[in-house]
Amino acid sequence: SGNEIVTDVVIIGAGPVGLFAVFELGLVDLKCHVIDILDRPGGQCAELYPEKPIYDIPAFPEISGQGLTDNLMKQIEPFGAEFHYSQMVTNVEKLADGSFRVTTDADETFVAKVIVVAAGGGSFQPKRPPVPEIENYEGKSVFYAVRKMEQFRDQDIVIVGGGDSALDWTLNLEPLARTLTLVHRRDQFRGHADSVNKMRSLIAEGKINFVRGQLSHLEGNDGMLSEVHLKTDGGDMAIPATRLLPFFGLTMKLGPVADWGLDLHDNALIKVDTEKFETSQPGVFAIGDINWYPGKLKLILSGFHEGALMAQAAKRIVHPDEKVVFQYTTSSTKLQKKLGVA
């Protein structure tokens, strides 16, 4: 998109810790933009265990990963943070005036005085299917996520996988596609029953095709796909295709965070102090699973505490002339006004 967004704070990662940081920063009047590779908030909670109960969130004897995410989204709503999903922060550079420029792989740029790295276990990255030369097609006709639905309009689309991503995109892209074929190695699906039912009725209505099989190889030119070849019980099969979306799950890698010149611990975690949770680069903070300090526990509740202290320090950087007054949400009408309850 090429435009530059100027804000107080950029939060890298919309996991539970990045989300709660919006709350703490909001209480000290700092405006946030939040960026995540995933297409929705919640980080590990939403991606890895949405339905599993968590038992150690203070005052919630039991809450699911998705439930915690939904509650956090509700709690931070008054602060109007802006979310930028389905893009990875690739660069963080320091500018001459002391602020930072953040760039994503979707070519969005942000300029902020404070950067909060809440990148958890690192970037969720799609697993590449074992298909020869698939990398030649990536970003041109093979995609691991849908960023712009328009890129799929009037295309011959092949979607591979049996989980929620494969099902969701089958349902969402069907109305736009010229043809759509869903490929899975079994006729059983791991996704929500409701999505499975909707998908099956699209097959019954003849609106999409289903093939039981596995990817074998691709044909095309200059990164533009023309055919997807499958191994099926009935032998090899070629499907005319101009777009391929393989959904083979995600792995977590540290990713570009390693290249931002921050001091690391064991080459994998960002070193911070325990007063402000600031990294070796003043103005860049790291909170949640991505950071390390003596005694660190990778728990959600630790990340919440880290966010509260970080926000105090961030405030001093953005507004060095303003005094930070300690206040309770229970008794401060100022804070209650910010929360929209007074």
Binding residues, as ranges, are 36, 44, 49, 89, 124, 289, 330
Instruction: Name the 3-class secondary structure at 101.
Output: strand
- The verdict on 270 binding ligand FAD (CB under 6 A) reads no
Joined tokens for residue 236: 């090899």
DSSP labels, 70-107: HHHHHHHGGG--EEE-S--EEEEEE-TTS-EEEEETTS
The span from the first CA to the last CA of the chain, in angstroms, equals 39
Which residues 70-99 are close enough to bind ligand FAD by CB under 6 A? 88-89
Q: Residues 52 to 71: which contact ligand FAD by CB under 6 A?
A: 54, 56
- Decide if residue 15 touches ligand FAD (CB under 6 A): yes
Residue 94 or 296: which CB sits closer to ligand FAD?
296
Q: Tokens 């999903």 appear where?
A: 85
Angstrom CA distances, 188 to 196, 212, 213, 222, 241, stand at 9, 10, 12, 35, 24
131 binds ligand FAD (CB under 6 A): no
The burial class, CB within 10 Å (0-12 / 13-18 / 19+), for 175 is exposed
Of the residues 5, 29, 39, 49, which one makes contact with ligand FAD according to CB under 6 A: 49
Strand partners for 160:
183, 246
Q: Identify which of residues 36 and 168 has a Cβ nearer to ligand FAD in the complex.
A: 36
Which of 27, 30, 38, 142 binds ligand FAD (CB under 6 A)? It is: 38
The strand order across the sheet containing 224-232 reads: 214-221, 224-232, 235-240
CB of residue 328 to ligand FAD, shortest distance in Å: 25
Q: For tokens 């689309």, name the residue.
A: 157
Give, in order, the Cα–Cα distances in Å from 170 to each of 180, 209, 210: 8, 10, 11
CA dihedral over 59, 122, 42, 5, signed as positive or negative: positive
By CB under 6 A, tell whether 8 contacts ligand FAD. Answer: no
Let me know if 263 is exposed, middle or buried by CB neighbors in 10 A (0-12, 13-18, 19+): exposed
Confirm if 102 and 89 have CB atoms less than 8 A apart: yes
Two tokens, residue 127? 């697993």
Cα separation values, 137 from 123, 131, 216, 249, Å: 22, 11, 15, 19
- Binding site residue list for FAD: 36, 44, 49, 89, 124, 289, 330
Under rule CB under 6 A, residue 258 binds ligand FAD:
no
Segment interacting with ligand FAD (CB under 6 A) among 12-20, 67-75, 133-141, 326-334:
12-20
Residues of this chain, 279-318, that bind ligand FAD according to CB under 6 A: 288-289, 298-301, 303
Is residue 126 a contact point for ligand FAD (CB under 6 A)? no
How many residues belong to the site for ligand FAD (CB under 6 A)? 37
Tell me how far, at minimum, the Cβ of 141 lies from ligand FAD, in Å: 24
Residues 194-253 that bind ligand FAD (CB under 6 A): none
- Which listed range, 119-127, 160-168, 267-275, 328-336, lies at the site for ligand FAD (CB under 6 A)? 119-127
- Among 34-42, 67-75, 128-136, 228-236, the segment contacting ligand FAD (CB under 6 A): 34-42
Q: Which is nearer to ligand FAD, 4 or 236 (CB)?
A: 4
Beta-ladder partners of 218? 228
Residue 16 interacts with ligand FAD (CB under 6 A): yes or no:
yes
Residue numbers of the site for ligand FAD (CB under 6 A)? 12-18, 35-38, 43-45, 48-49, 54, 56, 88-89, 118-124, 255-257, 288-289, 298-301, 303
